[in-house]
Amino acid sequence: MPLNLTGRIALVTGASRGIGAAIALALAEAGADIAVNYQNKAAQAEAVAAAVIATGRRAVTIQADVSDSAAVTAMVRHCEEKLGPVDILINNAGIGLIRGIDDLTEADFDTTIAVNLKSVFLCTQAVLPHMRARNWGRIVNISSGAARGAGGVGPHYNASKAGMEGLTRGYASRLVKQGITVNAVAPSLIETDMVRSGLAASAARIPLGRFGTAEEVAQVVLMLIGNAYMTGQTVAMSGGLAFN
171 is catalytic: no
- Which one from 38, 157, 171, 229 is the annotated catalytic residue? 157
- What is the rounded CA–CA span in Å between residue 194 and residue 14? 13
Torsion of Cα atoms, 145 then 151 then 155 then 156, to 10°: -60
Per DSSP, the residues of 39-76 read SS-HHHHHHHHHHHHHTT--EEEEE--TTSHHHHHHHH
Interhelix angle 119-134/155-175, rounded to 10 degrees, is 20
Beta strands in 134-231 (DSSP E): 137-142, 180-187
22 and 49 Cβ atoms separated by less than 8 Å: no
Backbone angles phi, psi at 85, to 5 degrees: -65, 150
User: Tell me, what DSSP letter sits at residue 83?
Assistant: T
Backbone angles phi, psi at 220, to 5 degrees: -70, -40
Q: Hey, is 189 helix, strand or coil?
A: coil
End-to-end CA distance of the chain: 28
Catalytic residue annotation: 157
